[in-house]
Structures are given as C-alpha cells and as structure tokens.
C-alpha cells in the first residue's frame, strides 16, 4: 500500500527540522558558554539533547518506512517504528516538555538559568522544550502505531537517565541540573521514582490516545463504506 503523501511530507520536514536543531546545538559546544553548561560530556549528558537525537532518529526511520517498497523490509521497519514511537519517542519527548516547563515555572534557575539566554536564543529553547510535544501529537493524529505492551522497555530507558546523572555527579562532583543539588538523598530517590512514574503514565497515555483516535477513525470509515 502506497504511503500517503501527507505522511511523507510530515516525516521529511520533521527530520530536517530536528537535524537542524541538533546541528545548531552541537555547534554551541565550541563557544564560550556559562560555567558548567557543557562540562564533562558536553551536551550528551542532558536528557533534552538525547531526546532530540531520539526524535530525529525516529523521523529518519519513519522517512525510510515511507519510501520502502520491499514488503518484507516494510513490515519489519514499520514494526520497529511503531515500537520506537510508542515505547520511547512519545513518553520521553512528552516527559521532557512537561518536566522542563513545570520546573521552569516554579524557578527557572533550577533547570535553565537566565545566564543561558545570552547563548541560546528563545527559538532554540522552544525547539528543545516546547515544539517537541505538538509534533508528537501530530504524529499520533497522522498515523496509527500498533505495538504490544512494552512498558518495561520504557521504564528501562527512564531508569537510564538517573543512572547517567548520578554517574556524572560521582565523576566530577557536579549535578547536571541545579535542582538536584538542593535535594537530600531521600529527595533524590523520590524525584527519580516520580519521574519514572510520569514516564509510565505518559506511555499509557500515548497508547490510549492512539487507540482512541484510530478506533474512531476506523469506525467512521467503516460506516462510510
């Protein structure tokens, strides 16, 4: 079955956009930034940057699927694409947006200090922390993503983030995010556990949205036929 043109245009556009954003962020690594921004690992230690790579990888895969004409490869790549989106791309991308703006609204210095504004223009901040969510919702509305329940995979990825953050702290004695330095040991455990719970909730939400949107569309289509 031929891929609808709207799907292909959306995927190619988003792939190009994320490639541009990632390239723009990577270029900042060589500039004079506020102390501590890119210490020990550059942008790779930030979940925001890793999420951008995740989103870009998904849209690269989606684009490959759109132009795949070999049936056997198409089935495999489609299954992989649906798994990637449902288990990782949607919950992690939504989590980054929601957590960032929640903390930012409370006290931006805990997550995105004002000193960064001189180095990252507003469009880049929104590219990293805002635009991701409407793109994800657009993907949900654009095409269905059928996947078996894989909550454990999503949780394993969410567990990777706190492990990486703690590793950076143990290596150089600095927290990736200023907020973490204000929490006690018990507070850190609660914070990381809460984050994993939110990711699990977002995974379930994405699954429910997919079923809701596409079950209704299939019902309408069947009535029209």
Residues 114-151 pLDDT 10s: 888 888 889 999 999 999 999 999 999 998 887 665 56
pTM: 0.85
Q: Residue 59: what pLDDT?
A: 97
**Digit-coded pLDDT (tens) for 153-207:** 656 666 667 777 787 777 777 788 888 888 998 999 999 889 888 988 998 898 8
pLDDT of 18 strictly over 90: yes
Decide which of 58 and 35 is more confident.
58
Q: Exposure string (b/e) for 134-170, b if CB count within 10 Å is 16 or more?
A: ebbeebbeebebebeeeeebbbebbeebbebbeebbe
With cut-offs at 50, 70 and 90, classify the pLDDT of residue 76.
confident
Mean of the pLDDT values across residues 104-115? 89
Into how many domains does the chain fold? 1
What is the residue range of 24's domain?
Answer: 5-224
Q: Residue 52: what pLDDT?
A: 96
């Amino acid at each position: 079955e031929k891929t609808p043109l709207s799907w292909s245009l959306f995927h190619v556009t988003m792939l190009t956009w994320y490639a541009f954003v990632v390239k723009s962020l990577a270029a900042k690594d060589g500039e004079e930034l506020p102390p501590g921004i890119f210490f020990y690992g550059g942008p790779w230690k930030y979940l925001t940057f890793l999420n951008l790579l995740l989103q870009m990888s998904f849209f690269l895969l989606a684009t490959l699927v759109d132009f795949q004409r070999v049936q056997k490869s198409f089935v495999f790549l489609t299954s992989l694409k649906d798994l990637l989106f449902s288990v990782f791309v949607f919950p992690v991308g939504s989590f980054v947006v929601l957590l960032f703006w929640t903390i930012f609204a409370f006290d931006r210095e805990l997550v995105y200090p004002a000193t960064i504004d001189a180095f990252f223009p507003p469009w880049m901040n929104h590219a990293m922390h805002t635009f991701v969510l409407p793109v994800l919702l657009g993907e949900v509305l654009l095409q269905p993503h059928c996947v078996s329940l894989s909550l454990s995979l999503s949780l394993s990825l969410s567990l990777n983030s706190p492990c990486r953050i703690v590793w950076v702290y143990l290596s150089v004695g600095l927290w990736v995010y200023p907020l973490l330095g204000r929490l006690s040991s018990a507070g850190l455990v609660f914070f990381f556990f809460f984050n994993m719970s939110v990711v699990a909730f977002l995974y379930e939400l994405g699954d429910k949205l997919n079923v809701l949107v596409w079950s209704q569309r299939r019902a309408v289509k069947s009535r029209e036929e």
